[in-house]
């Protein structure tokens, strides 16, 4: 018997093998499927996917043998990765000086061997896809071609594993960063609300108790009040955006549709500025009530704020099919320019439009709305005509 020699690039080759994280892993169906296929195509009782480790041949998939590793110095695959040709074939190991007294030949009757090196994109030979038989033989052209094709597929599975691991790591890092960002936003927003509310209260008090101030001074106080109110709304918006994840975790329940709309109307239109009409044949909906309320309140609030008509008209529709609820909110407001429709759902995206109260939006409400709708398994879309109004349509997936 002749033990296989060590490749000249063994240190880097070994590092490449270890980079896939496959050594000492359990059997996996996707690899076992390949050995099963190649066993049938080659009519061979033994089919293996091997990785050449430092002192052993680890069998990631082993059809036809009871073990999942063997010493490297007796492995056929150790010789195969040293071949210049992509495939090594031993028609009768009993007549080959390298294998005639090999334990695999004597104890497991491994007479015939055909192995294709598993070569990664850097050119390192990681192991083999191979078959054994208990009698002398060879492979036909079709069998050789399939063996080589499936070897490439094995390497693709190796690479896919690495990519999946990298994606999982990236996802975990993003989730951790997002949680930290949520905590930061919540803490900062909470800590800012108190001094902002104090500023608003003090400016109101200052204005009430100092009516003899000059016109310019009173104007400065008005500016301070408006800026403080804008900052408070901004802080509230940030808090709602990050707290939306909490309401998404709430259970669904049966909700009377008319009562739902009335609740939303009282919150979004406390001053009864709008004529809000519901058009629906449904009496009840089975939904996450808190989440849908947040969506509807945001849409109703925008429909009222960005409206220049003497009579604000908002029409709401709701229908269903087997899989979804379909919602529609249409207003007769100022409309949205076509060029801006693609960006209105972006977080902190502002269009530079002043609402009926003289304020600019903070770019958080519609981002929150889209986030909630998406997490509820639906989609939200918008269509608009300048000067005539806007229609938001969204879906919510049923269980």
Predicted confidence pLDDT, tens digits, the chain (399 residues): 899 999 999 999 999 999 999 999 999 999 999 999 999 999 999 999 999 999 999 999 999 999 999 999 999 999 999 999 999 999 999 999 999 999 999 988 999 999 999 999 999 999 999 999 999 999 999 999 999 999 999 999 999 999 999 999 888 888 887 776 666 666 666 666 667 677 777 777 777 777 777 777 777 777 676 666 666 665 666 666 666 666 777 788 999 999 999 989 988 888 888 999 999 989 999 999 988 988 998 899 899 989 999 899 999 999 999 999 999 999 999 999 888 888 888 877 767 676 776 666 667 778 889 989 999 999 999 999 999 999 999 999 997
DSSP classification of residue 346 = S
pLDDT value for 145: 97
Distance CA 176, CA 191 (A): 22
Helix axes 365-375, 215-248, angle to 10 degrees: 10
Rounded CA separation 231/302 (Å): 18
pTM for this structure? 0.56
Q: What is the pLDDT of residue 25?
A: 95
Residue 87 backbone class (left: φ over 0; alpha: ψ -120 to 50; beta: rest): beta
In the chain, the DSSP E strands lie at 46-52, 56-63, 69-71, 87-90, 112-119, 125-133, 253-256, 274-280, 284-287, 312-320, 324-331, 380-385, 389-397
Domains of the chain: 10-168 (3.30.450.40), 249-399 (3.30.565.10)
Task: Read off the tokens for 100.
Answer: 């005639």
Pairwise CA distance, residues 199 & 183, whole Å: 25
What pLDDT, on a 0 to 100 scale, did the predictor assign at position 249? Answer: 74
Under a CB-based contact definition with an 8 Å cutoff, are residues 117 and 151 in contact?
A: yes
């Amino acid at each position: 018997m002749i033990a296989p020699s060590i490749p000249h690039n063994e240190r880097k080759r070994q590092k490449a093998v270890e980079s896939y994280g496959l050594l000492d892993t359990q059997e996996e169906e996707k690899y076992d499927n390949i050995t099963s296929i190649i066993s049938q195509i080659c009519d061979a009782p033994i089919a293996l996917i091997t990785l050449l480790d430092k002192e052993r041949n680890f069998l990631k998939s082993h059809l036809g043998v009871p073990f999942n590793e063997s010493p490297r110095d007796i492995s056929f695959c150790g010789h195969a990765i040293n071949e210049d040709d992509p495939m090594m074939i031993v028609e009768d190991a009993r007549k080959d000086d390298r294998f005639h007294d090999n334990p695999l030949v004597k104890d497991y009757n491994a007479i015939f061997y055909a192995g294709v090196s598993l070569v990664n994109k850097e050119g390192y030979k990681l192991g083999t896809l191979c078959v054994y038989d208990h009698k002398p033989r060879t492979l036909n052209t079709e069998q050789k071609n399939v063996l080589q094709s499936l070897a490439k597929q094995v390497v693709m599975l190796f690479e896919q594993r690495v990519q999946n691991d990298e994606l999982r790591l990236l996802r975990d890092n993003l989730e951790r960063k997002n949680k930290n960002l949520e905590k930061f936003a919540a803490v900062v927003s909470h800590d800012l609300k108190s001094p902002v509310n104090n500023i608003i209260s003090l400016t109101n008090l200052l204005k009430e108790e100092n009516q003899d101030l000059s016109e310019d001074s009173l104007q400065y106080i008005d500016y301070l009040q408006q800026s403080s109110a804008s900052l408070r709304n901004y802080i509230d918006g940030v808090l709602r955006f990050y707290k939306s994840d909490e309401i998404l975790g709430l259970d669904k329940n049966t909700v009377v549709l008319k009562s739902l709309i009335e609740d939303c109307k009282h919150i979004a239109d406390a001053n009864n500025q709008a004529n809000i009409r519901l058009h629906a044949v449904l009496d009840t909906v089975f939904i996450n009530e808190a989440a849908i309320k947040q969506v509807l309140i945001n849409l109703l609030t925008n429909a009222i704020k960005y409206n220049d008509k003497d009579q604000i008209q908002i029409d709401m529709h709701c229908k269903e099919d087997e899989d979804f609820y379909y919602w529609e909110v249409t207003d007769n407001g100022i409309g949205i320019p076509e060029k801006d429709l693609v960006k209105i759902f972006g977080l902190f995206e502002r269009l530079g439009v002043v609402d009926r109260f003289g304020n600019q939006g903070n770019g958080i409400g519609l981002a929150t709305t889209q986030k909630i709708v998406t997490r509820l398994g639906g989609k939200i879309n918008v269509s608009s005509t300048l000067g005539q109004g806007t229609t938001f349509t969204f879906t919510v997936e049923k269980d």
